[in-house]
Structure 1
Amino acid sequence: MDLFSFIECAKQTRSSKALFDLLVSCASEEGFSEVAYGALTFAEPPRLLGYLPPTGTVNFPPDWCRRYFERNYRVIDPVVRRTPTLRGPFVWDELAKLEPGEKRVLDEAKEAGLKHGMSVPLLGAFGRLSVVSFASPFDDADPQYRMSHLKTLAWHFHLAFAEIARLSNSSCKRKDILSEREKDCLRWVAEGKSSWETGKILKVSDNTVNFHLKNVMRKLGTTNRTQAIVKAIRLNLIEF
């Protein structure tokens, strides 16, 4: 699919999953079939949100995704760390002055099948920073050569994704705004805390935490915690 066709199809797509699949299809034609899209927190240091990304916005190898979050690599990932300072697209292999932990993340990513990669920082509403990363399982892949095309794909995907989110968010009614306690529970779960840990922090039982989280999912029209976190962030109901 050429770039013009991608842009036209992206504008007409009303499903975030279908839009992501479209991006993967086009990137695969460039030799970069592994794609991830995510938002960074406002915390210092910058990091990805503290939960496994929705399957609709990442197709990196599942084993690598689990290892990445279980070992808390989001805190030392050089791609995430560099994204706020490198406003243009960058190639992973060209990142300089890596700390030992950062180098370990990239080395293990290669072992997991992400042989060569590049990332595109993307600014959104309220100054929120997102990033699209493209990776290839092929040893001879050249992200520098494909950078211009992949950057353009990333930007148009980002714009279309934001429009889908806007249309989805507009369907939420004022009566569904979360209570402060519901927001508290959701914030801590977004940071990777379990219901039990959240209960200890808030000095309530884990059953109470689960009760509030169920209310959150009902109000936001989601079916699991991850979806609720993503939607709450898009609606600016919780911040990081």
Structure 2
Amino acid sequence: MNLFSFVECASQTQSLKALFDLLVSCASEEGFTEIAYGALTFLEPLRLPGCPPPLVAMKAPPDWCQRYLERKYYTVDPVVRRTPMFAGPFLWDELAKAHQLQACEQRVLQEAKEAGLKNGVSVPLFGPLGQISVISFASCFDDADPQANVRRLKVLAWHFHIAFAEIAKPSDCASNGKVSLSEREKDCLRWVAEGKSSWEIGKILNVSENTVNFHVKNAMRKLGTASRTHGLVKAIRLGLIEFTEPALTKPMVA
């Protein structure tokens, strides 16, 4: 299942298990078959059976899952502990370089690798009121390249995160109003999807960098998001801007 198919199917499911299965299927296309999703700073009302907080859903080799849960490794897992310190995706191999890990943290990473979770990468997901979640991807293949796939995995993680939020929220929390973006705000988000900086978008649209930042921040405020990526994914999910698979690889017309 490719990213476009994931977006289409995720918008139609109301089951956490079905949504998580979609995530596993799509990430597997990139060689990352082992996945965990956790809510680090708040308690989710919905989680898969057998997943204690902060875990919401987990797919890994059965022996590793059993050991991870029985020994309560989630209390010392460096990914769980260190995610709030990262602004964007990070490789597990970078953890030891960026932070002085405790012996128990190093043991979790080493045992995970021995259990078949290799080339791990985690994507921090930031929400309102300081909420922090994380999705971790790992591969059972030695030659998997998380760095080459990090952009797609990041977009996939955000799509899953927003789709999950729609499933998990109480029915009485549904929004009564519709988000409306201006054409210029949509233009800016489309170019954000291409990985363009505010300066580059300004040159393309023939406006100043400050004007681009103004429109992007307005869009984020309307969407209730704390980052450009979150805003972009939510706008796509709400149908405010069109998502197509080629958009990830070639320029769009503003």
TM-score if structure 1 supplies the norm length?
Answer: 0.62
Q: Please state if 1:128 is matched with 2:126.
A: no
Write the distance in 2 (CA, Å) between the matches of 1:77 and 1:110.
Answer: 13
Kept in 2, the 8 Å contact 1:123–1:130? The answer is yes
Q: Please state if 1:159 is matched with 2:162.
A: yes
Write the distance in 2 (CA, Å) between the matches of 1:161 and 1:128.
Answer: 14
Query: Quick one: percent identity of the two aligned structures?
Result: 67
Write the letter of the residue equivalent to 1:154. A
RMSD over aligned Cα atoms: 2.5
**SS state at 1:13 partner:** coil
- Equivalent residue, structure 2, for 1:227: none
Please, which runs of 5 or more residues in structure 1 have no aligned partner? 44-48, 173-240
Structure 2 counterparts to residues 98-113 of structure 1, below 5 A: 98-113=101-116
Kept in 2, the 8 Å contact 1:37–1:133? The answer is yes
Write the distance in 2 (CA, Å) between the matches of 1:41 and 1:61.
Answer: 26
Q: CA shift at 1:130, angstroms?
A: 1.0
- Equivalent residue, structure 2, for 1:11: 11
Write the letter of the residue equivalent to 1:148. R
Write the letter of the residue equivalent to 2:143. D
- Equivalent residue, structure 2, for 1:57: 57
Write the letter of the residue equivalent to 2:162. L
Write the letter of the residue equivalent to 2:71. R
**SS state at 2:116 partner:** coil
Q: Please state if 1:22 is matched with 2:25.
A: no
Write the distance in 2 (CA, Å) between the matches of 1:66 and 1:28.
Answer: 22
- Equivalent residue, structure 2, for 1:78: 78
Q: Structure 1 pair 56/101, CA: closer, same or farther in 2 (3 Å)?
A: closer
Kept in 2, the 8 Å contact 1:73–1:105? The answer is yes
Write the letter of the residue equivalent to 1:164. I
Q: CA shift at 1:3, angstroms?
A: 2.1
Write the distance in 1 (CA, Å) between the matches of 2:42 and 2:148.
Answer: 32
Q: CA shift at 1:141, angstroms?
A: 1.1
Kept in 1, the 8 Å contact 2:121–2:136? The answer is yes
Q: CA shift at 1:125, angstroms?
A: 4.2
- Equivalent residue, structure 1, for 2:140: 137
How many residues are treated as equivalent by the alignment?
164
**SS state at 1:57 partner:** strand
Write the distance in 1 (CA, Å) between the matches of 2:50 and 2:9.
Answer: 28
Write the letter of the residue equivalent to 1:140. D
Write the distance in 1 (CA, Å) between the matches of 2:56 and 2:126.
Answer: 20
Q: Which runs of 4+ in 1 moved over 6 A?
A: none
Q: CA shift at 1:22, angstroms?
A: 0.6
**SS state at 2:11 partner:** helix
- Equivalent residue, structure 1, for 2:94: 94
Write the distance in 2 (CA, Å) between the matches of 1:41 and 1:127.
Answer: 8
**SS state at 2:5 partner:** helix
Write the distance in 1 (CA, Å) between the matches of 2:69 and 2:133.
Answer: 18
Kept in 2, the 8 Å contact 1:20–1:56? The answer is no
